[in-house]
Amino acid sequence: MSTKSNDALPGMETPELGLTGRPLREFPVPAPLQQHGPARIIAMCNQKGGVGKTTTSINLAASLAEYGRKVLAVDFDPQGALSAGLGVQNYDVTTIYDLLLNPKLDAHEAVQSTSVEGLDIIPANIDLSAAEVHLVSEVAREQILARVLRQVADDYDLILIDCQPSLGLLTVNALTAAHGVLIPLESEYFALRGVALLKETIDKVQERLNPSLNLDGILITMFDSRTLHAREVLERVVDAFGDLVLESVIRRTVKFPDASVAGTPVTQFAPNHSASEAYRHLARELVSRGAVA
């Protein structure tokens, strides 16, 4: 069993990745864009909580902004963790909840800048928990978020929706608005069990509401190469989903909660740490796959 530290740089002597038969490879630094927009929309989705959705949304968005992409992060979870993690105000401001319920509002009114150049956010707070009750009687209720995001899509290269841990109406709205889905998956057995149900929901939305929806990939998070269980889960995921499993792997480290407390991406909090390098690797991989411009 490996005794390597959790914080080892991805790509450096990773025996756990040998189980996949696909050694971690490097991806080229994305070329600068000559123009920005219209945005591709990606929903960060998993009905299980605590799998790294918000951490991935924050740090993937920040990494892509480092590479010159204009990114809009949409906090679509009533807990407002994305807003807190990017250090923005989410009370006494226009939020995604207001945009969903008031079609007369301009989505630009809710956009806030962050400490990361090129990264903006539409915040959320606990008010969003009432949205499903209000939207259930609306005509075309599954398409309301898509209407909101169309107003700002031309201003960005990527819109990243951080979904709540649920398969309810808000998540269906996110999947209906999105071009792609990214599934963060903790390397733990019970997290793996829920992927089939999520995939079924994605397939239904694709069939009934959004034929252009694509599963962009499954990202292994909270990976600890020192445990046999984590390595076995990784192997089972790759056996089940093949090339849909991204080569980038996000390992456990205390830097993520530390950065969250500071209200900043780990790429700014500890720019030279292996955690930051892992998310930059993910950003390059998604650009290489064509999931991001």
Alpha carbons 36 and 32: distance in angstroms, whole number: 10
Alpha carbons 146 and 153: distance in angstroms, whole number: 10
Alpha carbons 16 and 18: distance in angstroms, whole number: 5
Identify which of 113, 115, 118, 121 has the alpha carbon closest to the alpha carbon of residue 54: 121
Peptide bond before 265: cis, by omega within 30 degrees of 0? no
Name 98's Cβ contacts closer than 8 Å, sequence gap at least 6: 105, 110
Amino acid occupying residue 254: V
| Dihedral in degrees, nearest 10, Cα atoms 250, 168, 157, 266 | -30
Do the beta carbons of residue 132 and residue 170 sit within 8 Å?
A: yes
Which residues partner with 41 through β-bridges? 159
Whole-number pLDDT of residue 25: 79
Do the beta carbons of residue 160 and residue 292 sit within 8 Å?
A: no
Query: Structure tokens of 71?
Result: 């990114």
Whole-number pLDDT of residue 188: 80
pTM for the predicted model, two decimal places? 0.90
Identify which of 126, 122, 118 has the alpha carbon closest to the alpha carbon of residue 151: 122
Alpha carbons 222 and 269: distance in angstroms, whole number: 19
Whole-number pLDDT of residue 22: 55
Along the 293 residues of the chain, how does pLDDT read in single tens digits? 333 334 433 333 333 343 344 566 789 999 999 999 999 999 999 988 889 999 999 999 999 999 999 999 999 999 999 999 999 999 999 999 999 999 999 999 999 999 999 999 999 999 999 999 999 888 899 999 999 999 999 999 999 999 999 989 999 999 999 999 999 998 887 777 778 888 899 999 999 999 999 999 999 998 887 888 888 888 888 888 888 999 999 998 999 999 998 999 999 999 999 999 999 999 999 999 999 99
Alpha carbons 118 and 282: distance in angstroms, whole number: 18
Alpha carbons 43 and 177: distance in angstroms, whole number: 8
Spell out the SS3 assignment of 231-261: HHHHHHHHHHHHHHEEEEEEECCCHHHHHHH
Whole-number pLDDT of residue 56: 97
Cα dihedral across residues 289, 77, 129, 190: positive or negative: positive
- Give the Å distances, CA to CA, from 94 to 91, 115, 141, 281: 8, 19, 21, 34
Whole-number pLDDT of residue 196: 83
Do the beta carbons of residue 177 and residue 212 sit within 8 Å?
A: no
Query: Structure tokens of 68?
Result: 């010159």
